[in-house]
Each structure stands twice: as structure tokens, then as C-alpha cells.
């Protein structure tokens, strides 16, 4: 399998137009292509720089000529979960007709879209990229050949990966930021590049307070790492 990540600018994609006109981004949580109608149904997480930016982006979507269906599933502040059905884009058609397939979620921001696509053979990947160049602007962010052993490992280790992701989500904003700063400034290195005192000054709290935050964050992440290791075994 040839796995390629593309940074794509499409001229007929509602999400790209909305992200280009407004300070908003879109990330796919689910997608399904209907071959009977040549339409793509997606569930997207839409995020705006603020509430007004999100309102503007969703309005661009609702009125876009290539959008068929729109449903607001939920919303909180400057983030929303939406369901849409859009026309097949020209780039999507080229990839599908050439035997390519989507291997990961879309992410759209600032007028471009990050695609993860796969091909079974090198010649199929090369031919598709050549055809895409005729009508699209894109950069190949990464390209690699994935062997069967790698695919098996990815599938088998998906549970472990999700466990680690959930561990990150368990962290409060304060715990996450404290751990990030502690790692970046060398608190866990030997010799230490930072101390409890310097971290306390950075966050304008007492040393016992920053120590407690670090212990909570470490406890949450280490317990998830242990669960992930058990899943790998």
C-alpha cells in the first residue's frame, strides 16, 4: 500500500470555501461516499475563532451551491458538530476513478485540506498525482510504502492508541499546560533544566501547588500508558 498525505486546495469544495472566507476549520469525524448519487456524506467538527466566525462559516456552508444537505447536530460556543452532504469534488473523483481511497480523516483550514489517501500500487499513485496536477493545487506532505506487517500492527494497536488519546483528554487544561512546560523546559531531564521553583514562578503559584498539578497529570497519563501497554501485549 502507498500511503500519501496531501495538502490540497480544491475550487469546488464547500468546506474549503468556508474556511478560506472565515476564521474557521473543519475536521471529519465520519464520512461515507454514495456511489449512486456521487455525493459525500460527512459529520464534521466545525470550530471558529469565536462565535461570530463560526456563524459566518456555517452560513457560507448552508448557501454553498455544492452543498445538498445540512444539519446542525450540536453546538457549544465556537464549536459545532454538523452533518452535511456535498457533491463529489473533481479531485475526489480523480482519486476514486484511479483506484485510490481515503485512509484517514479530513482536516480543512485556511482554504486548504489535509487528505490521507492510499493506493494499492506505485503506478496507480503516480498516475493519480499526475492527473491531479492538471486542475488542482496541492503539496505532497508525506509519502511512504506501508508493508503488510505495518498494516497488521496498525489495526492491532488501534485500541492502545485510543487509550493514550483518552489519557490526554483526561487532563485538565492546567494539568496539560503544566506537563507541556515541564517537558519543554527540562524538568524531567537529568540534570534538570527546570525546578519546582522555576515552574511555580512560571505559573505564578506556590511550589506545592505546581507539584500537586504535576502529580495529578503524571498519574493520569501513566495509568493510561499502563493500559496501552497491556493492550499491546
Please tell me the distance from the alpha carbon of residue 45 to that of residue 83, in angstroms, as a whole number: 9
Q: Say what angle helices 90-97 and 122-135 make with each other, to 10 degrees.
A: 160
Q: Which of 8-12, 32-36, 81-85, 156-160 has the lowest mean pLDDT?
A: 156-160
Query: Are the CB atoms for 10 and 16 separated by under 8 Å?
Result: yes
What is the reported pLDDT for 197?
92
C-alpha span between 146 and 171 (Å, rounded): 33
Q: What domains, with CATH codes, occur in the chain? A: 2-146 (no CATH), 157-232 (1.10.10)
Q: Residue 84 pLDDT > 90, yes or no?
A: yes
pLDDT at 181: 92
Q: Residue 209's pLDDT band (boundaries 50, 70, 90)?
A: very high
Q: How large a percentage of the chain has pLDDT more than 70?
A: 92
The rounded distance, in Å, linking the Cα atoms of 112 and 6 is 10
Provide the grid cell at 83.
Answer: 452533518
Q: Distance between CA 227 and CA 84 in Å, rounded? A: 36
Is it the case that residue 98 has pLDDT exceeding 90?
no
pTM score, two decimals?
0.64
Task: Answer whether 28's CB lies under 8 Å from 43's CB.
Answer: yes
Predicted confidence (pLDDT) per residue in 8-42, tens digit: 888 889 999 999 999 999 998 788 888 888 888 99
Q: Read off the pLDDT band of 232 (50, 70, 90).
A: low
Quick one: what percent of the chain has pLDDT higher than 90? 45
- Answer yes or no: is pLDDT of 54 > 90: yes
> Residue 34's pLDDT is what?
85
Distance CA 113, CA 106 (A): 7
CA distances from 210 to 6, 44, 139, 170, 204 (A): 41, 37, 43, 18, 9
Give CA torsion, residues 148, 30, 22, 69, to 10 deg.
140
Q: Is the pLDDT of residue 199 over 80?
A: yes
Span 173-194, pLDDT tens digits: 899 999 999 999 999 888 888 8
Give the mean model confidence (pLDDT) for residues 113-127: 89
When pLDDT is averaged across residues 119-143 and rounded to a whole number, the result is 88
State yes or no: pLDDT of 111 exceeds 80.
yes
Which one is predicted more confidently, 167 or 43? Answer: 43
Amino acid at each position: 500500500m502507498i500511503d500519501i498525505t496531501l495538502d490540497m486546495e480544491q475550487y469546488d469544495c464547500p468546506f474549503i470555501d468556508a474556511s478560506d472566507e472565515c476564521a474557521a476549520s473543519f475536521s471529519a469525524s465520519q464520512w461515507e461516499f454514495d456511489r449512486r448519487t456521487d455525493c459525500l456524506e460527512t459529520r464534521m467538527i466545525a470550530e471558529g475563532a469565536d462565535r461570530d466566525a463560526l456563524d459566518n462559516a456555517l452560513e457560507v456552508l448552508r448557501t454553498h451551491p455544492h452543498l445538498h444537505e445540512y444539519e446542525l447536530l450540536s453546538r457549544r460556543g465556537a464549536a459545532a458538530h454538523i452533518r452535511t452532504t456535498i457533491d463529489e469534488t473533481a479531485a475526489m473523483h480523480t482519486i476514486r476513478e484511479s483506484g485510490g481511497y481515503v485512509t484517514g480523516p479530513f482536516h480543512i483550514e485556511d482554504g486548504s485540506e489535509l487528505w490521507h489517501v492510499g493506493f494499492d500500487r506505485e503506478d496507480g499513485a503516480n498516475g493519480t498525482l499526475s492527473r491531479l496536477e492538471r486542475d488542482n493545487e496541492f503539496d505532497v506532505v508525506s509519502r511512504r510504502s506501508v508493508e503488510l506487517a505495518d498494516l497488521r500492527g496498525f489495526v492491532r494497536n488501534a485500541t492502545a492508541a485510543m487509550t493514550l488519546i483518552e489519557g490526554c483528554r483526561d487532563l485538565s487544561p492546567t494539568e496539560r499546560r503544566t506537563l507541556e512546560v515541564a517537558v519543554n523546559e527540562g524538568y524531567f531531564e537529568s540534570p534538570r533544566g527546570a525546578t519546582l521553583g522555576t515552574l511555580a514562578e512560571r505559573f505564578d503559584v506556590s511550589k506545592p501547588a505546581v507539584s500537586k498539578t504535576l502529580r495529578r497529570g503524571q498519574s493520569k497519563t501513566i495509568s493510561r500508558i499502563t493500559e496501552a501497554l497491556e493492550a499491546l501485549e
